[in-house]
Structure 1
Amino acid sequence: MREESAARINISEGNCPERIVTITGPTDAIFKAFAMIAYKFEEDIINSMSNSPATSKPPVTLRLVVPASQCGSLIGKGGSKIKEMRESTGAQVQVAGDMLPNSTERAVTISGTPEAIIQCVKQICVVMLESPPKGATIPYRPKPASTPVIFSGGQAYTIQGQYAIPHPDLTKLHQLAMQQTPFTPLGQTTPAFPGLDASPPASTHELTIPNDLIGCIIGRQGTKINEIRQMSGAQIKIANAMEGSSERQITITGTPANISLAQYLINHLRETLYQTAPVTGVLLL
């Protein structure tokens, strides 16, 4: 596909339920790459139907990742632009109402024949070129499939069925957070980290987060901040927004080990959110 389209095509790594395909290059090269992907998907659908009793062929479906600030232009006043795209291409186009987790991007789903999808992508690209994104874009990064994690003896393990599998990446994260704090494998345990010494008295640490990142730190319905609370064993409170302030205060309470890990996880998430890369076309698979 790279050779025939002359576009740069990169597929994100990671053991995730979905992967991101980034397509970069001249406009014609991008359209050709999208066409090859759409026809490949149709080929897979036809092959899968050979072993299925279904008689009607389902449409090819792609999901584009688009900065939220550009979605208004794709929809148009009163939905006029998206209606025009549907009618002129014959493709079904849906713009998600919510942003993708921990990002400022939204998913645009396109369904139909490969020909309809290609024409629709062309029209979407034209709109996006005419209406560039506003402000900073926090790109969507799919999360690995969540599995239970336990910590024991300074090592991290993921639970798969009836087995505990060593997880070197989480072990390294845990060890980095603990390297300047007391760690006693045989000490009194805490619910979040079996093996952590829970004897030190609780203390408090405060840090500030820019307002434009606080939603991503909290996560949808508090999922992200709750995950950090559970992993660190610390109490984490986020202050209400103050008028005229561009930052929010976060208060972390717990043992030095709890606070150290919570602070590390929050800062690690901030660094991840700040990693932005300009791309010409993005496809979510």
Structure 2
Amino acid sequence: MEPNKVQSEGGLNVTLTIRLLMHGKEVGSIIGKKGETVKKMREESGARINISEGNCPERIVTITGPTDAIFKAFAMIAYKFEEDIVNAMSNSPATSKPPVTLRLVVPASQCGSLIGKGGSKIKEMRESTGAQVQVAGDMLPNSTERAVTISGTPEAIIQCVKQICVVMLESPPKGATIPYRPKPASTPVIFSGGQVRADPLAASTANLSLLLQHQPLPAYTIQGQYAIPHPDLTKLHQLAMQQTPFTPLGQTSPAFPGLDANPPASTHELSIPNDLIGCIIGRQGTKINEIRQMSGAQIKIANAMEGSAERQITITGTPANISLAQYLINARFRDVAAMWNDPSSMTTS
């Protein structure tokens, strides 16, 4: 976020640049048919809205303008996403509406101010706006930025963004910021019958298969002061292929499976190979804590049993909590698989 103070008739005004990280489907929603939706957003808000180019699974949406224009643009995006959720639920038996979720990209040097001493600032924002706010523990790949996830009603999100902007203006970034740039999707994968799909996940796992066959890796990679053991890539590949997000639990393909008015708590168990459990736990438990916070599920990892090659993970919560936790665990395996596929993107997390 880059503040630039300018003088206006109403006194001191502020021009901001805010970056959002969006998946392809979300980007498609705000672009609209022939670009009509984003054109309307630009005209009505007065903000400049630019969308990064490239065949990427993720895109950066940059919103620039005076504060009022920024907030109008955010409101239009939040209400558009809520409209998408309502439309998706029209053919679903789910009765509980999921929250709207936006991901801001913020320089890591500003995240401390956003969290506050002992988490006081982020707690205050959650309580005063009613929005859920999560600051990622790790920086985005090859950058000095972190993702800040905001979930809630459009009204709560708008109020939360206003408060975040105030904090960002009061605490400018320290030092140079290396912006996050999403990686392009890999080369299209050719399936049987000659069908071609530029599916980044399929391409990633296909490339990983080639890596398994042709590029044996050393047992350890030295990163700074750390010696990082290489996981068993065959197992990692198999786990990365378990990619069905939000597995329907007792429902027939709803848009938001596992959501109902009063879902009962239940338990689900997973078995993870011992040499991959570190991928899920992360350094000092950062990854597993992140998954617990984002999913709302209780997640317990059993101690290693003598003679057993696997560890048991027990997930407890509503069906929606469990589905989200499973999705985040599988996503973590896919991220790590991609990391070993492209060593240049490795961090010590």
Deviation digits for residues 225-255 of structure 1, max 9, x if unmatched? 9999999999999999999999999999999
- Of 260, 265, 271, the residue aligned with 1:197 is 260
How big is the shift at 1:117?
0.1
1:114-156 Cα distance to aligned partner (Å, 9 max, x none): 000000000000000000000000000011233489999999x
The match for 2:273 is 210
Q: Judge which range, 2-11 or 158-167, deviates more.
A: 158-167
Are the counterparts in 2 of residues 154 and 185 from structure 1 also a CA contact under 8 Å? no
Matched, 1:256 2:280: no
- Alignment deviations for residues 143-175 of structure 1 (CA, whole Å, 9 cap, x no partner): 1233489999999x9999999999999999999
**Aligned in 2, Cα 1:233/1:284: closer, same or farther, shift over 3 Å?**
closer
Show the counterpart of 2:183: 143
What are the Cα deviations for residues 234-280 of structure 1, in whole angstroms up to 9, with x where unaligned? 99999999999999999999999999999999999999999999999
Q: In 2, distance between residues paired with 1:82 and 1:258? A: 23
Asked if the contact 1:23/1:30 (under 8 Å) is kept, the reply is yes
Q: Are residues 34 and 145 of structure 1, via their aligned partners in 2, closer, same or farther at CA, if it must alter by over 3 Å?
A: same
What secondary structure sits across from 2:81 in the alignment?
helix
Higher relative contact order (CA 8 A, sep 6+): 1
Q: Under a length normalisation based on structure 2, what TM-score does the superposition of the two structures give?
A: 0.44
Deviation at 1:18, TM superposition (A): 1.2
**Would you say the 8 A contact 2:246–2:323 is kept in 1?**
no
1:221: Cα distance to partner?
15
Is contact 2:240-2:333 (8 Å) kept? no
1:138–1:204 CA distance, 2 compared to 1 (3 A): farther
Distance 1:109 1:282, change over 3 A: farther
How far the C-alpha of 1:190 sits from its partner, in A, is: 47
- 1:193 CA displacement: 44
Q: Which moved more, 1:258-267 or 1:49-58?
A: 258-267
Distance 1:257 1:11, change over 3 A: closer
**Deviation of the 1:55 alpha carbon:** 1.3
Q: CA RMSD in A?
A: 17.7
Kindly tell me: are residues 174 and 38 of structure 1, through their superposed partners in 2, closer, same or farther at Cα, counting changes over 3 Å?
closer
Distance 1:124 1:139, change over 3 A: same
Matched residue SS, 2:271: strand
- Larger mean CA deviation between 1-10 and 189-198 belongs to 189-198
2:125 and 2:160 in contact (8 A); partners too: yes
Write out per-residue CA displacement over residues 45-72 of structure 1, whole angstroms, 9 at most, x where no aligned residue.
0000111221111000000000000000
In structure 2, the CA distance between the partners of 1:174 and 1:29, relative to structure 1 (3 Å rule), is same
Listed as ranges, the gaps of 5+ residues in structure 2 are 1-40, 196-219
Following superposition, which runs of at least 4 residues in structure 1 exceed 6 angstroms of deviation?
Answer: 148-155, 157-285
- Tell me if the contact between 2:248 and 2:254 (Cα under 8 Å) persists in the aligned partners: no
Does structure 2 conserve the Cα–Cα contact (< 8 Å) formed by 1:152 and 1:193? Answer: no
Aligned partner of 1:71 in structure 2 is: 111
Give the drift of 1:15.
1.1
* Cα pair distance change 1:14/1:219, threshold 3 Å: farther
In structure 2, the CA distance between the partners of 1:209 and 1:81, relative to structure 1 (3 Å rule), is: same
Q: Computing the radius of gyration over CA atoms, which structure comes out larger, 1 or 2?
A: 1
* Structure 2 SS opposite 1:141: coil
1:161-196 Cα offsets, whole Å, 9 max, x none, are 999999999999999999999999999999999999
Q: Do 1:64 and 1:284's aligned partners in 2 also have CA atoms closer than 8 Å? A: no
Give CA-to-partner distance per residue, 1:12-57, whole Å, 9 cap, x none. 1111111111000000000000000000000000000111221111
Unpaired stretches in structure 1, ≥5 consecutive residues = none
**Alpha-carbon distance in structure 2 between the residues aligned to 1:230 and 1:274:** 24
Distance 1:216 1:203, change over 3 A: same
Does the 8 Å CA contact 2:240/2:337 hold for their aligned counterparts? no
Q: Structure 1 residues 12 and 203 mapped into 2: Cα distance closer, same or farther (>3 Å)?
A: same
Q: In the alignment, is the contact (CA less than 8 A) between 1:177 and 1:261 conserved in 2?
A: no
CA distance in 2, matches of 1:112, 1:21: 20
Indicate how the Cα distance of structure 1 residues 43 and 163 shifts in structure 2: closer, same or farther if over 3 A, else same: farther
Q: 2 CA distance for matches of 1:181 and 1:67? A: 32
CA deviation string 1:185-209 (max 9, x = no partner): 9999999999999999999999999
The 3 A distance-change label for structure 1 pair 23 and 211 is: farther
CA distance 1:133–1:206, change in 2 (3 Å): farther
Call closer, same or farther: CA 1:50–1:99 in 2, change over 3 Å: same
Query: Is the contact made by 2:246 and 2:326 (CA closer than 8 Å) also made in structure 1?
Result: no
Quote the Cα distance in structure 2 between the aligned partners of 1:158 and 1:230.
Answer: 30
Give the Cα separation in 1 of the matches to 2:241 and 2:162.
51
Question: 2-side partners of 1:140 and 1:31: how far apart?
Answer: 23
Give TM-score, length-normalised by structure 1. Answer: 0.53
